[in-house]
Structure 1
Amino acid sequence: MSNEADFTEPARVTFRGQGGIALAADSWGPQDGPLVVFLHGGGQTRHSWKDSGLALAKAGMHAVLLDARGHGDSDWAPDGNYSRNAMVEDLIGVLEQLGKPAFVVGASMGGLTGLIASAHPQRDRMTGLVLVDVVPRPERAGVERVINFLDSNREGFASLEEAADVVSAYLPHRRKPRNPEGLQRNLRQRADGRWYWHWDPAMLSGRGEEIDFHTDPLEDAARQLTMPVLLVRGALSDVVSEEGVRAFRELVPHADYAEIGAAAHTAASDANDEFTDAVVDFVRAHVRTE
């Protein structure tokens, strides 16, 4: 195997999603390693998984970090279609283009995509599923807080510092970074000089009303799960409660479970080392051997 120094930078790749939409991704690690596809949460980008991508590459795994449609460097949907089904078809298309089964790691919105995809006719393209702070029955107040944050500041920010203050207020459990430059991964400066979130606001259309609407199909998908499953919860999360975890584990008795004590809903970013260790251990335990 090549030494880990060969994988300190990702390769930029592009996939085609439903309707031919271009989906940007970073590819980390050896192509012949166990394949792990990462799906970020709403309003995030593939860069939220950067540290995990590097860690998996060093562990000999092939990590693909995908920008969802309307996010990051992926195309915005010309018809405004950001439905769960569209994102599921995007994922299935990406897995087909990758050419071998993959573990799918999804946070929040990405986790819902992965869960619904697990009931897709082509679900055999998935080797296993990691759900990061998402269950079929989330806490409404927590979900609404996330949606309200994403729907705020549509007028943009005068500076990166202003954006950092807003993020810090939204994530009070996390230490505010000394340098806000890292926010440039999630913001773009437009001609007016202001900084705007780098995702399509049309993504939010109807999201608030969908919370209860999707519970039944999500639970149906969970009941059908036979592949290996890992549920990761941030102990400080206001989106996934202990009750929500218990309900999920009743639906999926074979699921593994990991709780990260210092993390909230943004579990992977809050405690990346602990999160990544859990993913690596899960993949190693369930990787298929030919």
Structure 2
Amino acid sequence: MNSITTRDGVSLYVKDWGPPSGQPVVLSHGWPLNADSWESQALHLASNGYRVVAHDRRGHGRSSQPWDGNDMDHYADDLAQVIEVLDLRNIALFGFSTGGGEVTRYVGRHGTGRVAKICLISAVPPLMLKTAANPSGQPIEVFDGLRAASLVDRSKLYLDIASGPFFGFNRPGAEKSQGMIDSFWLQGMMAGHKNTYDCIRAFSETDFTEDLKRFDRPTLIVHGADDQIVPIEASAHAAMRLVPHATLSVYPGAPHGLTDTHKQQLNDDLLVFLRR
């Protein structure tokens, strides 16, 4: 099975790697990417005996591009359907960036009955947007700028993000990887324009505070100290205050896209977390 159809008729592309008898690890990807962005972790974990499942979010990658439903509630319900259709249990649920929001909203809406462990990596919860109650967040002008740039030249926007802050390639002395840049751009351009545009609001304005309070499973939070996309203070540090039993692992100097730039360190840490 490489796709499922949701209750509202959206086709979701699904990867299912590794031994079917292995403990399931379910991966939720970031914006504007797809399941391919997890390939280093998926290959490593599947090679170590885990069943690794990753889907392309609605409107992204090889999934269909619905006009409506590009919000965290739909994303979480889609994730729930993937888990239910494949009848996955005792899951390790991992989310990167926007996918961290998807995983968190899944817990808020569907609970942890099928979940054994949770890991948030460079994740957006509890809230990216700056508000009176969240003064360390980013001002709305940042996200308005993303939307404007997407309308003017979406292709250039993705190239600029990948060649600059996403992987930290804008830092002095950084060695750019054209391969990482090209992969980010390609995945972004596979996604629907309307879907990625709407998703900016979903990842930036959704408040996951109450969802995080429902975390009752072993939780690992991984974040780069030099994350320019999702700054650590309003995300990982704030999430730790809401999930006090979680373990926080900060990668010194690491950027947002640490699943690629620090992939071996992350792969090793995820395997240790899974084996505890």
Fold match by TM threshold 0.5:
yes
For residues 80-99 of structure 1, the aligned pairs below 5 Å read: 80-99=68-87
Q: Is the 8 A contact 1:27 1:62 kept in 2?
A: yes
**2:215 aligned to which of 218, 225, 228:** 225
- Matching residue's letter, 2:83: L
Aligned residue for 2:164, secondary structure, equals helix
The structure whose RCO (Cα within 8 Å, separation 6+) is larger is: 2
Unaligned runs of 5+ in 1: 1-11, 188-196, 286-290
The structure with the largest alpha-carbon Rg is: 1
**C-alpha distance in 2, partners of 1:125/1:74?**
24
- Matching residue's letter, 2:50: M
2:129 is aligned with 1:140? no
1:169/1:67 CA distance change after superposition, 3 Å: same
Shift of residue 15, structure 1, vs aligned partner = 2.2
1:209/1:88 CA distance change after superposition, 3 Å: closer
1:107/1:171 CA distance change after superposition, 3 Å: closer
1:32/1:224 CA distance change after superposition, 3 Å: same
For residues 142-181 of structure 1, the aligned pairs below 5 Å read: 145=142, 148-149=145-146, 152=149, 154=151, 155=153, 157=155, 164=159, 167-171=162-166, 173-174=168-169, 175-178=175-178
Unaligned runs of 5+ in 2: 129-135, 170-174
- Matching residue's letter, 2:187: N
1:172/1:37 CA distance change after superposition, 3 Å: closer
**C-alpha distance in 2, partners of 1:117/1:241?**
22
Aligned residue for 1:141, secondary structure, equals coil
For residues 1-290 of structure 1, the aligned pairs below 5 Å read: 13-77=2-66, 79-101=67-89, 102-121=91-110, 123-134=112-123, 135-138=125-128, 140-141=137-138, 145=142, 148-149=145-146, 152=149, 154=151, 155=153, 157=155, 164=159, 167-171=162-166, 173-174=168-169, 175-178=175-178, 182=183, 185-186=186-187, 197-203=189-195, 204-205=197-198, 207-208=200-201, 211-212=204-205, 214-215=206-207, 218-238=208-228, 239-242=230-233, 244-285=235-276
- Matching residue's letter, 1:127: A
Pairwise CA RMSD:
2.9
Aligned residue for 1:120, secondary structure, equals helix
How many pairs were matched up? 258
Normalising by the residue count of structure 2, what TM-score does the alignment of the two structures yield? Answer: 0.81
- Matching residue's letter, 1:265: H
Identity %: 22
**C-alpha distance in 1, partners of 2:121/2:160?**
25
Which is worse superposed, 223-232 or 235-244?
A: 235-244
**C-alpha distance in 2, partners of 1:147/1:43?**
16
Shift of residue 108, structure 1, vs aligned partner = 1.6
Shift of residue 169, structure 1, vs aligned partner = 3.2
Shift of residue 84, structure 1, vs aligned partner = 0.8
